[in-house]
Structure 1
């Protein structure tokens, strides 16, 4: 995949939350969310491209801290709305060994209004190399807002942007499986690269194997990468399927954000011109590096070193 210097930007769309992670007898506060985690890796690995996180923010101190945190790391928010009286969602991570569980407080999160200004949303997606969003992005939006988001993504694709999408199914965010399937199907119609996770697809569609997932999504999307934790990733592109082994980490520290970082590594490699198989190999290395640090956002140099290896 050749790079396009006329379209230097990378945009991801979604919800950034306050992250509380257990640290001994206390808690550490940070910022994370599936689409931010992916942008973080993309920005680390594509430093020559502008990085924009498209969402909606409140005017409270935590929202201001979010935006300042992005800015310190070279990530902008474009024309994302800042809404008076709104505030970000919050989640807490509890760990059993390296495996994590999440508790969420997000019912009135500002990000639910990310499509409230269609003109601003369209402007954010103009002239971008890559636009990335997820099933969580879809799930937090009401029907009309979801329609507006998909219309903006469709326009960006028509204008030449590459569209990547991770279905990232989270049952608690949806009213029903039928609603989730219908929304995800609409998103896949606009997608150039799909990055599903097999257990999610198994839960939503009853897929028996990753091959089943790849074939089903491959009917709509030309390039599909099915992630499966420590099992090989299945790359389905150009009419061919390829299994790419994961990297085994003997003593992982924290698996938070591993799949999102895989997505960032894969997309960065594709933007750099690597083949799908090589992109998956590098993405596995990035994910393996992430599970060896606490939290979803690994230091940029950790990500770069893994990607180069």
Structure 2
């Protein structure tokens, strides 16, 4: 028995991923678990007002908080839906215990692989403290994109109703190989899969055609406005969402303050408006949308209702510091 299979049986964390209890019928049990496979990183959030001063100091409020698109999605899914949520990710020894504690405090079952060599991924988030709350990322993926096929076991799908892949997994060789193995497993079980493309910058480097090829068989695509337009070459996000929905059964394009578009069978079926919010930090708003959207689908909501839940979570997310929802007794504006 491999380490991954052993941990899949016991639900342990440490050297390999862990699976859940229960039986998995085709498509997963009704109201079953959400398994997120994705990145776990340490976010260093620097909130500054006005332009950065090149070559000298810029005053900023700096906090260290847990992050990662995959981890954020998992935490928001629990917060918004109370679902059984599991996260398979890879971290370094330097911060493994901290990330496991933070995920557990958020109600997520952490299935963390500890990398013996690579440090935990780190993202520096430069957040404009003005009206927009816009952010710029400096990313060192570290261990987060070192997930590999050996970290996977089909037993991880036991009890799982849906699986979500963070798009960052498509941007390194080892994690792309993992994606292929995961999609093969989900096809054999009939478990639906969603993907968030994650980064227009990394998508450009990978190549649109390559990304779409790797996503063959995915059920739900959740791109941002920029990602949808990049994937199609179309300037209008509605046209882009419609075109993508000819390749994916369901496309939900996240438009930030313009809400979300729900597209199926080559046409936009709904435009869900955003909720009013006063942005403090837009980091993780798309992850909040995705987590709430998936939790709502598992609870039995239709795509439009689930998109409304996503927009509501996104509005709450931008009014917080960092990419995670609040936890009991934990202030998300404090560092580790």
Q: What is the TM-score normalised by the length of structure 1?
A: 0.83
SS of match in other structure, 2:313: helix
Shift of 1:50: 2.6
In structure 2, the residue matched to 1:36 is 71
Equivalent residue runs for 1:222-301 within 5 Å: 222-237=249-264, 241-249=269-277, 251-299=278-326
1:147 aligns with 2:177: yes
Shift of 1:288: 0.6
Equivalent residue runs for 1:92-171 within 5 Å: 92-96=124-128, 97=130, 98-106=133-141, 109-117=142-150, 120-139=152-171, 141-142=172-173, 145-171=175-201
Deviations 1:245-281 (A, max 9, x none): 11232x3111111111111111111111122112112
Q: How many residues align?
A: 287
Shift of 1:4: 5.7
Deviations 1:49-105 (A, max 9, x none): 432211222222x12211222223332233x43222331111122221212222223
Q: Match for 2:46 among 13, 18, 22? A: 22
In 1, distance between residues paired with 2:36 and 2:158? 13
Q: Is the Cα–Cα contact under 8 Å of residues 55 and 111 in structure 1 kept in the other structure?
A: yes
With over 3 angstroms needed to count, the CA separation of the structure-2 counterparts of 1:39 and 1:180, relative to structure 1, is farther
Shift of 1:20: 1.1
In structure 2, the residue matched to 1:75 is 108
With over 3 angstroms needed to count, the CA separation of the structure-2 counterparts of 1:214 and 1:88, relative to structure 1, is same
In 2, distance between residues paired with 1:261 and 1:76? 18
In 2, distance between residues paired with 1:215 and 1:54? 32
In 2, distance between residues paired with 1:145 and 1:232? 31
In 2, distance between residues paired with 1:112 and 1:167? 14
Uncovered stretches (5+) of structure 1, i.e. residues with no partner: 302-309
In structure 2, the residue matched to 1:305 is none
Q: Match for 1:88 among 95, 120, 124? A: 120
In structure 1, the residue matched to 2:230 is 203
Uncovered stretches (5+) of structure 2, i.e. residues with no partner: 1-26, 48-58, 329-336
Q: Match for 1:8 among 2, 17, 32? A: 32
SS of match in other structure, 2:34: strand
